[in-house]
A and B are shown apart, each in its own frame.
Chain A
Protein backbone atom coordinates (compact mmCIF):
# COMPACT_ATOMS: atom_id res chain seq x y z
CA UNK A 1 0.00 0.00 0.00
CA UNK A 2 2.77 2.35 1.06
CA UNK A 3 4.67 1.44 -2.11
CA UNK A 4 1.64 2.26 -4.23
CA UNK A 5 1.34 5.65 -2.59
CA UNK A 6 5.05 6.22 -3.12
CA UNK A 7 4.70 5.21 -6.77
CA UNK A 8 1.89 7.69 -7.22
CA UNK A 9 3.77 10.49 -5.52
CA UNK A 10 5.24 11.70 -8.79
CA UNK A 11 1.79 11.92 -10.31
CA UNK A 12 0.47 13.90 -7.34
CA UNK A 13 3.31 16.35 -7.67
CA UNK A 14 2.59 16.83 -11.35
CA UNK A 15 -1.09 17.33 -10.62
CA UNK A 16 -0.25 19.85 -7.93
CA UNK A 17 1.71 21.82 -10.50
CA UNK A 18 -0.61 21.39 -13.43
CA UNK A 19 -4.01 22.03 -11.87
CA UNK A 20 -3.26 25.60 -10.76
CA UNK A 21 -1.51 26.24 -14.05
CA UNK A 22 -4.47 24.98 -16.05
CA UNK A 23 -6.86 26.96 -13.90
CA UNK A 24 -4.79 30.08 -14.29
CA UNK A 25 -4.54 29.50 -18.00
CA UNK A 26 -8.29 29.18 -18.26
CA UNK A 27 -8.58 32.59 -16.64
CA UNK A 28 -6.51 34.24 -19.34
CA UNK A 29 -8.24 35.11 -22.54
CA UNK A 30 -6.72 33.66 -25.66
CA UNK A 31 -4.29 35.55 -27.83
CA UNK A 32 -5.15 35.62 -31.49
CA UNK A 33 -2.33 35.27 -33.96
CA UNK A 34 -1.76 37.58 -36.90
CA UNK A 35 -0.46 36.58 -40.29
CA UNK A 36 0.78 39.39 -42.50
CA UNK A 37 -0.75 39.16 -45.96
CA UNK A 38 0.12 42.55 -47.43
CA UNK A 39 2.53 45.40 -46.76
CA UNK A 40 2.36 48.77 -48.52
CA UNK A 41 5.18 51.28 -48.28
CA UNK A 42 8.91 50.70 -47.88
CA UNK A 43 11.80 52.91 -46.84
CA UNK A 44 12.66 53.66 -50.43
CA UNK A 45 9.44 54.00 -52.39
CA UNK A 46 7.06 56.97 -52.47
CA UNK A 47 3.90 55.04 -51.66
CA UNK A 48 3.25 56.37 -48.16
CA UNK A 49 5.02 59.06 -46.18
CA UNK A 50 2.80 59.31 -43.09
CA UNK A 51 -0.49 57.53 -43.36
CA UNK A 52 -3.17 58.34 -40.82
CA UNK A 53 -6.50 56.98 -42.07
CA UNK A 54 -7.54 53.85 -43.96
CA UNK A 55 -10.69 52.27 -45.35
CA UNK A 56 -11.37 49.37 -47.71
CA UNK A 57 -14.15 49.01 -50.26
CA UNK A 58 -16.18 45.98 -51.31
CA UNK A 59 -13.70 45.13 -54.07
CA UNK A 60 -10.78 45.14 -51.66
CA UNK A 61 -9.33 48.45 -52.84
CA UNK A 62 -7.50 50.18 -50.02
CA UNK A 63 -7.84 53.95 -49.56
CA UNK A 64 -5.32 55.69 -47.37
CA UNK A 65 -4.98 59.26 -46.15
CA UNK A 66 -1.34 60.31 -46.32
CA UNK A 67 -1.03 63.38 -44.10
CA UNK A 68 2.53 64.15 -45.14
CA UNK A 69 1.50 64.17 -48.78
CA UNK A 70 -1.87 65.92 -48.25
CA UNK A 71 -3.39 63.14 -50.29
CA UNK A 72 -5.80 60.26 -50.54
CA UNK A 73 -4.15 57.27 -52.17
CA UNK A 74 -5.94 54.32 -53.67
CA UNK A 75 -4.27 50.91 -53.78
CA UNK A 76 -5.72 47.80 -55.36
CA UNK A 77 -6.09 44.59 -53.41
CA UNK A 78 -2.50 43.66 -54.28
CA UNK A 79 -1.17 46.91 -52.88
CA UNK A 80 -0.44 48.60 -56.19
CA UNK A 81 -0.99 52.36 -56.23
CA UNK A 82 -3.79 52.99 -58.72
CA UNK A 83 -4.80 56.55 -57.92
CA UNK A 84 -4.02 59.62 -55.86
CA UNK A 85 -5.63 62.98 -55.26
CA UNK A 86 -5.15 66.05 -53.12
CA UNK A 87 -2.49 68.59 -52.34
CA UNK A 88 -1.89 71.27 -49.73
CA UNK A 89 -4.41 74.07 -49.96
CA UNK A 90 -7.86 75.21 -49.04
CA UNK A 91 -9.62 74.76 -52.33
CA UNK A 92 -11.99 71.96 -53.31
CA UNK A 93 -10.25 68.64 -52.97
CA UNK A 94 -7.26 70.17 -51.18
CA UNK A 95 -6.15 69.60 -47.61
CA UNK A 96 -4.38 71.42 -44.83
CA UNK A 97 -4.20 68.46 -42.44
CA UNK A 98 -6.17 65.43 -43.58
CA UNK A 99 -6.76 62.87 -40.86
CA UNK A 100 -9.62 60.37 -40.55
CA UNK A 101 -11.14 58.41 -43.39
CA UNK A 102 -14.19 56.20 -43.83
CA UNK A 103 -16.24 55.01 -46.76
CA UNK A 104 -19.82 54.28 -47.76
CA UNK A 105 -20.95 52.49 -50.88
CA UNK A 106 -20.18 55.44 -53.18
CA UNK A 107 -18.12 57.89 -51.19
CA UNK A 108 -15.00 58.50 -49.15
CA UNK A 109 -15.30 60.83 -46.15
CA UNK A 110 -12.16 62.65 -45.03
CA UNK A 111 -11.75 64.91 -42.01
CA UNK A 112 -9.37 67.80 -41.52
CA UNK A 113 -7.65 68.32 -38.19
CA UNK A 114 -9.35 70.99 -36.08
CA UNK A 115 -11.72 71.93 -38.90
CA UNK A 116 -15.49 71.50 -38.68
CA UNK A 117 -15.75 69.87 -42.07
CA UNK A 118 -15.85 66.52 -43.84
CA UNK A 119 -14.64 66.41 -47.43
CA UNK A 120 -16.36 63.87 -49.63
CA UNK A 121 -14.83 62.13 -52.65
CA UNK A 122 -16.06 59.40 -54.93
CA UNK A 123 -14.20 56.12 -55.28
CA UNK A 124 -12.38 57.48 -58.31
CA UNK A 125 -10.98 60.12 -55.96
CA UNK A 126 -12.87 63.00 -57.51
CA UNK A 127 -13.97 65.63 -55.01
CA UNK A 128 -17.76 65.75 -54.70
CA UNK A 129 -18.86 68.02 -51.87
CA UNK A 130 -18.15 68.88 -48.26
CA UNK A 131 -20.25 68.64 -45.14
CA UNK A 132 -20.07 71.50 -42.66
CA UNK A 133 -20.24 70.43 -39.04
CA UNK A 134 -20.79 72.07 -35.67
CA UNK A 135 -17.22 71.50 -34.57
CA UNK A 136 -13.93 69.71 -35.28
CA UNK A 137 -14.02 65.94 -35.56
CA UNK A 138 -12.75 63.40 -33.05
CA UNK A 139 -13.90 60.30 -34.94
CA UNK A 140 -16.22 59.44 -37.83
CA UNK A 141 -18.18 56.51 -39.15
CA UNK A 142 -19.84 56.59 -42.57
CA UNK A 143 -23.19 54.82 -42.31
CA UNK A 144 -24.65 55.51 -45.74
CA UNK A 145 -23.89 57.71 -48.72
CA UNK A 146 -26.00 60.41 -47.07
CA UNK A 147 -25.35 59.76 -43.38
CA UNK A 148 -22.21 60.04 -41.30
CA UNK A 149 -21.77 59.77 -37.54
CA UNK A 150 -19.31 62.13 -35.89
CA UNK A 151 -17.80 62.27 -32.41
CA UNK A 152 -16.99 65.90 -31.86
CA UNK A 153 -13.71 67.22 -30.60
CA UNK A 154 -15.11 70.57 -29.61
CA UNK A 155 -16.03 71.22 -26.00
CA UNK A 156 -19.29 72.74 -27.15
CA UNK A 157 -20.49 69.35 -28.36
CA UNK A 158 -18.92 67.11 -25.79
CA UNK A 159 -20.33 63.74 -24.88
CA UNK A 160 -22.34 63.57 -28.07
CA UNK A 161 -22.21 61.65 -31.28
CA UNK A 162 -24.02 63.52 -34.01
CA UNK A 163 -25.44 61.95 -37.13
CA UNK A 164 -25.21 64.35 -40.08
CA UNK A 165 -26.89 64.19 -43.45
CA UNK A 166 -25.03 65.37 -46.53
CA UNK A 167 -26.26 68.93 -46.03
CA UNK A 168 -24.75 69.07 -42.57
CA UNK A 169 -28.03 68.78 -40.70
CA UNK A 170 -28.02 66.83 -37.45
CA UNK A 171 -30.65 64.14 -37.88
CA UNK A 172 -29.91 62.23 -34.69
CA UNK A 173 -27.63 62.39 -31.70
CA UNK A 174 -26.38 60.07 -29.01
CA UNK A 175 -25.64 61.53 -25.61
CA UNK A 176 -23.13 59.17 -24.08
CA UNK A 177 -22.48 60.91 -20.79
CA UNK A 178 -24.94 62.58 -18.47
CA UNK A 179 -22.32 64.44 -16.50
CA UNK A 180 -20.02 67.12 -17.86
CA UNK A 181 -16.40 66.00 -18.15
CA UNK A 182 -13.16 67.90 -17.80
CA UNK A 183 -11.63 69.00 -21.07
CA UNK A 184 -10.95 66.11 -23.47
CA UNK A 185 -11.88 63.47 -20.90
CA UNK A 186 -14.97 62.58 -22.94
CA UNK A 187 -13.05 62.05 -26.17
CA UNK A 188 -13.99 58.74 -27.75
CA UNK A 189 -13.35 56.50 -30.69
CA UNK A 190 -16.47 54.69 -31.79
CA UNK A 191 -18.00 52.25 -34.22
CA UNK A 192 -21.53 51.14 -35.05
CA UNK A 193 -22.89 47.74 -36.03
CA UNK A 194 -25.62 46.97 -38.53
CA UNK A 195 -28.31 47.08 -35.81
CA UNK A 196 -27.36 50.60 -34.88
CA UNK A 197 -25.62 49.64 -31.65
CA UNK A 198 -22.85 52.06 -30.84
CA UNK A 199 -19.56 51.03 -29.22
CA UNK A 200 -17.37 53.64 -27.60
CA UNK A 201 -13.79 53.44 -26.39
CA UNK A 202 -12.87 56.43 -24.26
CA UNK A 203 -9.46 57.77 -25.16
CA UNK A 204 -8.51 59.05 -21.71
CA UNK A 205 -10.69 56.95 -19.44
CA UNK A 206 -10.57 53.19 -18.91
CA UNK A 207 -14.08 52.66 -20.26
CA UNK A 208 -15.62 50.80 -23.17
CA UNK A 209 -19.38 51.20 -23.52
CA UNK A 210 -22.15 49.79 -25.70
CA UNK A 211 -25.33 51.72 -26.44
CA UNK A 212 -28.31 50.43 -28.36
CA UNK A 213 -29.95 52.26 -31.22
CA UNK A 214 -32.20 54.20 -28.85
CA UNK A 215 -29.27 55.48 -26.81
CA UNK A 216 -29.75 53.12 -23.87
CA UNK A 217 -26.50 52.00 -22.28
CA UNK A 218 -26.23 48.21 -22.43
CA UNK A 219 -22.92 47.64 -20.71
CA UNK A 220 -19.69 49.30 -19.69
CA UNK A 221 -16.30 47.67 -19.24
CA UNK A 222 -12.85 48.60 -18.02
CA UNK A 223 -10.04 46.27 -19.04
CA UNK A 224 -6.92 47.83 -17.66
CA UNK A 225 -7.72 49.02 -14.16
CA UNK A 226 -6.64 52.58 -14.85
CA UNK A 227 -8.17 54.88 -12.25
CA UNK A 228 -6.93 58.14 -13.59
CA UNK A 229 -4.63 59.40 -16.32
CA UNK A 230 -2.05 62.10 -15.98
CA UNK A 231 -3.21 65.60 -16.90
CA UNK A 232 -0.94 68.51 -17.61
CA UNK A 233 -1.28 72.20 -18.07
CA UNK A 234 -0.52 73.21 -21.63
CA UNK A 235 -0.78 76.94 -22.16
CA UNK A 236 -3.84 77.80 -20.10
CA UNK A 237 -5.56 74.44 -20.52
CA UNK A 238 -5.31 71.31 -18.40
CA UNK A 239 -5.49 68.29 -20.67
CA UNK A 240 -4.94 64.53 -20.33
CA UNK A 241 -1.66 63.33 -21.75
CA UNK A 242 -1.87 59.55 -21.33
CA UNK A 243 -4.07 57.69 -23.74
CA UNK A 244 -5.90 54.60 -22.52
CA UNK A 245 -7.64 53.37 -25.67
CA UNK A 246 -6.66 54.57 -29.12
CA UNK A 247 -9.23 53.06 -31.42
CA UNK A 248 -12.15 50.67 -31.71
CA UNK A 249 -13.38 48.58 -34.64
CA UNK A 250 -15.96 45.84 -35.26
CA UNK A 251 -15.69 42.75 -37.41
CA UNK A 252 -18.48 41.07 -39.35
CA UNK A 253 -19.22 38.68 -36.47
CA UNK A 254 -19.96 41.50 -34.09
CA UNK A 255 -16.71 41.16 -32.19
CA UNK A 256 -15.23 44.38 -30.87
CA UNK A 257 -11.52 45.20 -31.21
CA UNK A 258 -10.04 47.88 -28.99
CA UNK A 259 -6.50 49.14 -29.44
CA UNK A 260 -4.84 49.89 -26.12
CA UNK A 261 -2.54 52.82 -25.54
CA UNK A 262 -0.05 53.65 -22.85
CA UNK A 263 -1.34 51.31 -20.16
CA UNK A 264 -1.41 48.11 -22.18
CA UNK A 265 1.16 45.39 -21.57
CA UNK A 266 2.39 46.08 -25.10
CA UNK A 267 1.93 49.79 -25.53
CA UNK A 268 -0.08 50.78 -28.62
CA UNK A 269 0.13 47.17 -29.82
CA UNK A 270 -2.37 45.20 -27.74
CA UNK A 271 -5.81 44.81 -29.28
CA UNK A 272 -8.48 43.54 -26.91
CA UNK A 273 -11.15 41.40 -28.52
CA UNK A 274 -14.54 41.66 -26.81
CA UNK A 275 -17.73 39.80 -27.60
CA UNK A 276 -21.00 41.69 -28.22
CA UNK A 277 -21.95 41.13 -24.56
CA UNK A 278 -18.86 42.87 -23.32
CA UNK A 279 -16.79 39.82 -22.36
CA UNK A 280 -13.08 40.06 -23.07
CA UNK A 281 -12.43 36.94 -25.09
CA UNK A 282 -8.92 37.34 -26.42
CA UNK A 283 -6.04 39.69 -27.04
CA UNK A 284 -3.89 40.04 -30.08
CA UNK A 285 -0.65 41.92 -30.25
CA UNK A 286 0.39 43.92 -33.27
CA UNK A 287 4.03 43.56 -34.32
CA UNK A 288 4.48 47.33 -34.19
CA UNK A 289 2.78 50.23 -32.41
CA UNK A 290 -0.15 51.73 -34.25
CA UNK A 291 -2.34 54.77 -33.86
CA UNK A 292 -5.41 53.01 -35.24
CA UNK A 293 -6.87 49.72 -36.37
CA UNK A 294 -9.25 48.98 -39.21
CA UNK A 295 -11.07 45.75 -39.96
CA UNK A 296 -12.50 45.20 -43.43
CA UNK A 297 -15.64 43.27 -44.36
CA UNK A 298 -13.59 40.09 -44.82
CA UNK A 299 -12.11 40.28 -41.35
CA UNK A 300 -8.62 41.47 -42.30
CA UNK A 301 -7.00 43.84 -39.85
CA UNK A 302 -4.99 46.87 -40.97
CA UNK A 303 -2.53 48.74 -38.80
CA UNK A 304 0.54 50.92 -38.94
CA UNK A 305 4.21 49.96 -39.18
CA UNK A 306 7.47 51.87 -39.50
CA UNK A 307 5.98 54.88 -37.78
CA UNK A 308 3.47 55.51 -40.54
CA UNK A 309 5.40 54.90 -43.73
CA UNK A 310 4.05 51.35 -43.96
CA UNK A 311 0.54 49.93 -43.88
CA UNK A 312 0.16 46.29 -42.88
CA UNK A 313 -2.73 43.97 -43.60
CA UNK A 314 -3.15 40.90 -41.42
CA UNK A 315 -5.26 37.79 -41.38
CA UNK A 316 -6.42 37.01 -37.84
CA UNK A 317 -6.11 33.33 -37.19
CA UNK A 318 -5.75 30.63 -34.56
CA UNK A 319 -5.45 31.15 -30.88
CA UNK A 320 -2.48 30.83 -28.63
CA UNK A 321 -2.61 31.11 -24.87
CA UNK A 322 -1.20 34.27 -23.42
CA UNK A 323 -1.70 36.94 -20.87
CA UNK A 324 -4.11 39.63 -21.90
CA UNK A 325 -3.91 43.10 -20.50
CA UNK A 326 -1.75 44.28 -17.68
CA UNK A 327 -3.90 45.58 -14.92
CA UNK A 328 -2.50 48.73 -13.55
CA UNK A 329 -2.94 49.88 -10.00
CA UNK A 330 -4.71 53.18 -9.71
CA UNK A 331 -2.72 56.22 -8.82
Chain B
Protein backbone atom coordinates (compact mmCIF):
# COMPACT_ATOMS: atom_id res chain seq x y z
CA UNK B 1 0.00 0.00 0.00
CA UNK B 2 1.35 3.34 -0.92
CA UNK B 3 1.80 5.86 1.84
CA UNK B 4 -0.60 8.73 1.56
CA UNK B 5 0.61 12.23 1.96
CA UNK B 6 -2.10 12.90 4.55
CA UNK B 7 -0.66 10.08 6.62
CA UNK B 8 2.68 11.79 6.52
CA UNK B 9 1.16 15.00 7.60
CA UNK B 10 -0.73 13.55 10.53
CA UNK B 11 2.24 11.58 11.60
CA UNK B 12 4.81 14.28 11.41
CA UNK B 13 2.82 17.27 12.51
CA UNK B 14 0.86 15.76 15.38
CA UNK B 15 3.06 12.87 16.31
CA UNK B 16 6.39 14.61 16.21
CA UNK B 17 6.84 18.21 15.29
CA UNK B 18 4.49 19.80 17.76
CA UNK B 19 5.88 17.72 20.55
CA UNK B 20 9.44 18.76 19.70
CA UNK B 21 8.44 22.35 19.62
CA UNK B 22 6.93 22.40 23.06
CA UNK B 23 9.15 19.96 24.86
CA UNK B 24 12.36 19.25 22.99
CA UNK B 25 14.32 16.10 23.20
CA UNK B 26 16.06 16.91 26.44
CA UNK B 27 12.75 16.63 28.22
CA UNK B 28 11.99 13.44 26.40
CA UNK B 29 15.26 11.84 27.25
CA UNK B 30 14.71 12.47 30.93
CA UNK B 31 11.65 10.25 30.87
CA UNK B 32 12.16 6.79 32.24
CA UNK B 33 11.13 4.75 29.28
CA UNK B 34 12.65 1.49 28.19
CA UNK B 35 15.22 1.52 25.41
CA UNK B 36 15.05 5.28 25.04
CA UNK B 37 11.66 4.98 23.40
CA UNK B 38 10.70 8.54 23.82
CA UNK B 39 7.38 9.15 22.17
CA UNK B 40 4.17 7.30 21.63
CA UNK B 41 2.74 7.56 18.18
CA UNK B 42 -0.90 8.15 17.56
CA UNK B 43 -2.50 8.28 14.16
CA UNK B 44 -3.35 6.41 11.04
CA UNK B 45 0.16 5.31 10.36
CA UNK B 46 0.41 3.27 13.53
CA UNK B 47 -2.43 1.02 12.49
CA UNK B 48 -0.93 0.31 9.15
CA UNK B 49 1.17 -2.80 8.66
CA UNK B 50 2.63 -1.80 5.35
CA UNK B 51 6.32 -1.09 4.90
CA UNK B 52 5.69 2.60 5.00
CA UNK B 53 5.04 2.85 8.68
CA UNK B 54 8.60 3.47 9.73
CA UNK B 55 9.77 6.93 8.93
CA UNK B 56 12.99 8.83 9.30
CA UNK B 57 13.38 12.45 10.19
CA UNK B 58 16.88 13.87 9.81
CA UNK B 59 17.65 16.88 11.96
CA UNK B 60 20.48 18.71 10.25
CA UNK B 61 22.62 21.62 11.36
CA UNK B 62 25.38 22.74 9.04
CA UNK B 63 27.49 23.81 12.01
CA UNK B 64 27.81 20.15 12.95
CA UNK B 65 29.09 19.19 9.55
CA UNK B 66 32.46 20.77 10.18
CA UNK B 67 32.69 17.59 12.26
CA UNK B 68 33.62 15.24 9.49
CA UNK B 69 32.61 12.12 11.35
CA UNK B 70 29.11 13.60 11.80
CA UNK B 71 28.86 14.36 8.10
CA UNK B 72 30.25 10.98 7.14
CA UNK B 73 27.81 9.28 9.49
CA UNK B 74 24.85 11.08 7.94
CA UNK B 75 25.96 10.40 4.39
CA UNK B 76 26.90 6.82 5.19
CA UNK B 77 23.47 6.15 6.65
CA UNK B 78 21.78 7.86 3.76
CA UNK B 79 23.62 5.76 1.22
CA UNK B 80 22.63 2.56 3.04
CA UNK B 81 18.95 3.43 3.23
CA UNK B 82 16.52 1.20 1.41
CA UNK B 83 15.22 2.91 -1.68
CA UNK B 84 11.88 4.26 -0.34
CA UNK B 85 13.71 6.10 2.41
CA UNK B 86 16.14 7.70 0.06
CA UNK B 87 13.38 9.35 -1.85
CA UNK B 88 10.23 10.01 0.12
CA UNK B 89 10.10 8.00 3.33
CA UNK B 90 12.65 10.22 4.98
CA UNK B 91 12.44 13.92 5.58
CA UNK B 92 14.93 16.39 6.83
CA UNK B 93 14.78 19.60 8.79
CA UNK B 94 17.58 22.11 8.57
CA UNK B 95 17.99 23.82 11.93
CA UNK B 96 18.79 27.54 11.78
CA UNK B 97 19.99 28.93 15.05
CA UNK B 98 19.13 32.48 15.98
CA UNK B 99 22.40 34.39 15.84
CA UNK B 100 20.83 37.78 16.24
CA UNK B 101 21.04 38.58 12.56
CA UNK B 102 18.49 39.36 9.90
CA UNK B 103 16.40 36.17 9.79
CA UNK B 104 15.32 36.62 6.21
CA UNK B 105 18.92 36.93 5.06
CA UNK B 106 19.98 33.96 7.17
CA UNK B 107 17.24 31.87 5.62
CA UNK B 108 18.26 32.80 2.08
CA UNK B 109 21.87 31.91 2.83
CA UNK B 110 20.82 28.61 4.36
CA UNK B 111 18.58 27.79 1.42
CA UNK B 112 21.42 28.35 -0.99
CA UNK B 113 23.85 26.26 1.05
CA UNK B 114 21.26 23.53 1.31
CA UNK B 115 20.83 23.58 -2.45
CA UNK B 116 24.54 23.01 -2.86
CA UNK B 117 24.62 20.37 -0.14
CA UNK B 118 21.75 18.40 -1.65
CA UNK B 119 23.21 18.58 -5.13
CA UNK B 120 26.77 17.68 -4.17
CA UNK B 121 25.73 14.75 -2.00
CA UNK B 122 22.91 13.43 -4.15
CA UNK B 123 20.26 13.78 -1.44
CA UNK B 124 16.81 12.95 -2.80
CA UNK B 125 14.46 13.27 0.18
CA UNK B 126 12.88 16.62 1.01
CA UNK B 127 14.54 18.87 3.57
CA UNK B 128 12.62 21.64 5.27
CA UNK B 129 14.36 24.85 6.25
CA UNK B 130 13.25 25.91 9.71
CA UNK B 131 12.46 29.46 8.69
CA UNK B 132 10.31 30.32 11.69
CA UNK B 133 12.27 28.46 14.35
CA UNK B 134 9.54 25.91 14.94
CA UNK B 135 12.33 23.60 15.98
CA UNK B 136 14.06 26.10 18.24
CA UNK B 137 14.02 23.54 21.06
CA UNK B 138 16.45 21.49 19.01
CA UNK B 139 18.92 24.32 18.42
CA UNK B 140 22.18 23.26 19.99
CA UNK B 141 21.07 19.67 20.23
CA UNK B 142 23.19 18.76 17.25
CA UNK B 143 22.42 16.82 14.13
CA UNK B 144 20.77 13.47 14.36
CA UNK B 145 18.17 11.15 12.98
CA UNK B 146 14.79 10.39 14.48
CA UNK B 147 13.29 7.02 13.75
CA UNK B 148 9.51 6.86 13.95
CA UNK B 149 8.63 3.21 14.16
CA UNK B 150 4.95 2.72 13.59
CA UNK B 151 5.06 -0.98 14.29
CA UNK B 152 6.71 -0.58 17.65
CA UNK B 153 4.94 2.69 18.28
CA UNK B 154 8.21 4.33 19.23
CA UNK B 155 10.23 7.36 18.35
CA UNK B 156 13.93 7.41 18.95
CA UNK B 157 16.68 9.94 18.48
CA UNK B 158 20.19 9.02 17.38
CA UNK B 159 22.97 11.60 17.45
CA UNK B 160 25.48 11.86 14.66
CA UNK B 161 27.96 10.33 14.50
CA UNK B 162 26.21 7.02 15.02
CA UNK B 163 28.14 4.29 16.73
CA UNK B 164 28.50 1.03 14.87
CA UNK B 165 25.81 -0.50 17.05
CA UNK B 166 23.42 2.36 16.47
CA UNK B 167 24.01 2.17 12.76
CA UNK B 168 23.16 -1.52 12.72
CA UNK B 169 20.13 -0.94 14.93
CA UNK B 170 18.68 1.75 12.69
CA UNK B 171 19.39 -0.25 9.57
CA UNK B 172 17.85 -3.38 11.05
CA UNK B 173 14.70 -1.56 12.03
CA UNK B 174 14.34 -0.11 8.59
CA UNK B 175 14.80 -3.39 6.81
CA UNK B 176 13.01 -5.83 9.07
Contacts and interface: CB of A to CB of B under 8 A. Distances in A.
Interface of A: 43-44, 46, 49-50, 66, 68-71, 87-88, 96-97, 113-114, 306-309
Contacts of B84: none
Interface stretch (B16-24, B31-39, B48-56, B113-121): B113-121
Interface string B101-138: 00001101101110111011100000000000000000
Contact of A50 (B68, B72, B75, B116): B116
B142 to A, nearest CB: 13
A97 B120 contact: no
Contacts of A114: 68
Given A43-B109, A97-B68, A309-B112, A49 B117 contact: yes
A65 B8 CA distance: 39
B116 A68 contact: yes
A199 B112 CA distance: 36
Nearest to A42: B112
B113 A68 contact: yes
Given A68-B117, A70-B120, A88-B121, A43 B112 contact: yes
A87 B75 CA distance: 14
Most buried by B among A44, A49, A68, A70: A68
Interface of B: 66, 68, 71-72, 75, 105-106, 108-109, 111-113, 115-117, 119-121
Contacts of B71: 97
Contacts of A307: 106, 109, 113
B120 A309 contact: no
Nearest to B116: A49
A87 B120 contact: yes
Contacts of A97: 68, 71
Contacts of B116: 46, 49-50, 66, 68-69
Contacts of B75: 88
Contacts of A306: 105, 109
Nearest to A97: B68
Given A68-B117, A87-B120, A88-B120, A49 B112 contact: yes
B161 to A, nearest CB: 12
Given A88-B120, A307-B106, A308-B113, 9 more contacts: A44-B112, A49-B116, A50-B116, A68-B116, A69-B116, A87-B120, A88-B121, A96-B72, A97-B71
A113 B70 CA distance: 14
Contacts, number: 45
Contacts of B112: 43-44, 49, 309
A71 B75 CA distance: 18
B71 to A, nearest CB: 8
A309 to B, nearest CB: 5
Nearest to B108: A43
Contacts of A50: 113, 116
B120 A69 contact: yes
Contact of B68 (A46, A68, A113): A113
Contacts of B72: 96
A66 B117 CA distance: 11
Contacts of B111: 43
Give 10 closest A-B pairs by Cβ, nearest first: A49-B116, A68-B116, A43-B108, A307-B109, A69-B120, A309-B112, A69-B116, A49-B113, A97-B68, A70-B120
B109 A96 contact: no
Contacts of A308: 113
Contacts of A44: 112
A309 B109 contact: yes
Contacts of A69: 116, 119-120
Contacts of A49: 112-113, 115-117, 120
A243 to B, nearest CB: 14
Contacts of B117: 49, 68
A96 B75 CA distance: 11
A169 to B, nearest CB: 28
Nearest to A307: B109
Contacts of A71: 120
A263 to B, nearest CB: 19
B109 A46 contact: no
